[in-house]
Chains A and B, each alone.
Chain A
Amino acid sequence: MTITDQDDRLRVLRERAREWAEQLRPHAFELERDPDTVYRHLDLPAVDYVGKMLIPPRMQPNPMRIGDYEYYGTTAVERVVAAEEIASGDAGMFLASPGASLSGVLVGMLGDEAQQQWYFGRVRERPTWTFFALTEPARGSDAMALSTTLRKASDGSLTLHGEKRYVGNATRAQLGTVFARTGPGPLGVVAVLVETDAPGYQAEPLDTIGLRGAQISAIRFDGVPVDPGRVLGAHLPASARGMWSALRTFNLLRPGVAAIALGIARAAIEYARSNGERGRHREELDRLGHRVHTTRQLILRAAHEVDRDPRNGYLASAAKAQAAQLAEEATLQSLRMLGPGARFEHPWLDKLARDARGVEFMEGTRNVQRLNVCHALTKGRFDDD
């Protein structure tokens, strides 16, 4: 495909996704109050598209079609374009949507053919929610030190024991992936596929200040039985299975999280522009507009980079840190522009300001991203640009 085709494809997607986003807003507050209302919105095109994203083309006979183009959501570049637009409508609905999500990337990377057919078959068949459980009550940024265990009995059967926390969609999901320890150190970590109706699986939603559609949850695994065929990457060397795969999954999806943050920032600025006193704060809005533009270009570049080589997540780290900061600052600044009582007069902006707080933590905090970026800098990764 030539660059021009690619550009046109993305332009068409962006325009259409912008229309989809408009349709999310009327449902956003209802979704906040009751995250289960997502079940009523499965026909909204944004939700439908997210549900189809990340299913490999060879397993997806029915991708999203717009004009002459087909969209599978399997490239980071496509995902960032869609994510920014959809999140500018409602990031909560984006995160509440069914689909392969993070686990899909992991299964695509580690799963053998049978596992992929099973996982993507389930996701394709009907609206299916999935989860990706890495964070634990005592381990967040330091996920490498996770303590959930996959125990092997003398007859070879496997069971899962431990707790996870802040896991998106874990209460409404049908299946997902869980990182667990089989031995010490980073090589002693595996990812397994788990169905949520398995005995010993228990998930409870956590009450959050924003992004409530995501319904982040606490999970307990009380001896959940795991079929040996559901351990991911058994056919790969140990070094390619455990934490390595989590990091690579994050690399691939991090530009998309940055784009969600950008969508929130942009929505706040657009709102302030159209609801503020005409002509006031023009300079401030223009400055924010330029920051949106530069962050978008950085995100696109980061997405191209991970599409080219999934190991190169450092630019995505830079983009995510910048976008999360912009989301917080732009939402607070927009509220200030609308004057006293803006939180009450403009609940939409209040919502955006609350949502913006959450993207900071998704797929790694600002500090963690900064450490990644600095590591890459000292390794000479930026020497040629």
Chain B
Amino acid sequence: MVTVVAAVALADCRAIARRDGLDAGWQALVTATGAGELLFGPGGHGLCPPGWQPQRGGTDSRPAGWVLGLTWLRLGVSQWLLDQARTYLAGRTSGGVPLIQQQLVQGSLAEAVTEQQGVVAVLDALESAGDELSPSLAAHLHRQITDTDRMSLRLLGAGGFLSDGPGGIAHLSELLADAHLDGVDHDDHRSG
């Protein structure tokens, strides 16, 4: 019997992660790139699925498009987080007014979505030009995603500091970037 696996484009990782969360996005990334279950980054670190048997080993040869796909994935997770924050803020009030109507909150939401759209714009342009994502640009985009996620976490209140739910997912997303990027985006480079 032949199983037909729908082809997953790297960019689809974003929509899948946004809709179904990090786990689903990760599966999509693995499918899209043909990566093994456990892939090590440049420092020899990787995140393993729950119940992973260490003796099964892993690989450190990154398939083509891995970092680009990871960027789409983390962007989708970032959008998922912001969606969680929007839902939370719509359902919570201060002085009888929903938090989502507080202008300071609206400013943060606008800032967060602007940062995300910046990443979308860069990745889209890159893909249509068929260009590579350079390590330095990748590091910059991931930093932008992390900073955006921190905005969403602040908007989620102390609930976003719990290990379960958005707070834990955001940490996992930060760990993924740390394990898989070459890490060259420092202030040194920006100012130098």
Contacts and interface: CB of A to CB of B under 8 A. Distances in A.
A362 to B, nearest CB: 9
A340 B161 contact: no
A294 interface: no
A341 B42 contact: yes
Contacts of B146: 332
A337 B161 contact: no
Interface stretch (A77-85, A94-102, A207-215, A375-383): A207-215
Interface in A189-221: 206-211, 216
A342 interface: yes
Interface in B143-169: 143, 146-147, 150, 153-154, 157-158, 161-164, 167-168
Interface string A332-348: 11011101111111000
A211 to B, nearest CB: 8
Interface string B62-93: 00000000000000000000000000000011
Residue from the set A209, A211, A337 with the largest chain B CB neighbour count within 10 Å: A209
Nearest to B47: A344
A365 B89 CA distance: 14
Interface in A319-359: 328, 332-333, 335-337, 339-345, 353-354, 357-358
Nearest to B179: A341
B163 A209 contact: yes
Contacts of A344: 43, 45, 175, 178-179
A305 interface: no
A354 to B, nearest CB: 7
Interface in A51-78: none
B171 A354 contact: yes
B154 A360 contact: yes
B93 A281 contact: no
A36 B38 CA distance: 35
B37 interface: no
A371 B168 CA distance: 29
A209 B181 contact: no
A243 to B, nearest CB: 13
Contacts of B186: 281, 284, 333, 336-337
Contacts of A283: 187-188, 191
Given A141-B94, A340-B42, A358 B154 contact: no
Interface of A: 135, 138, 140-142, 144-145, 165-166, 206-211, 216, 280-281, 283-284, 287, 328, 332-333, 335-337, 339-345, 353-354, 357-358, 360-361, 365-367, 370-371
30 contacts: A142-B93, A142-B95, A206-B162, A207-B164, A284-B187, A328-B150, A335-B178, A336-B186, A337-B186, A340-B41, A340-B43, A340-B178, A340-B179, A340-B182, A341-B178, A341-B179, A342-B178, A342-B183, A343-B45, A343-B175, A343-B178, A343-B179, A344-B179, A354-B171, A357-B150, A357-B153, A357-B167, A365-B157, A367-B108, A370-B104
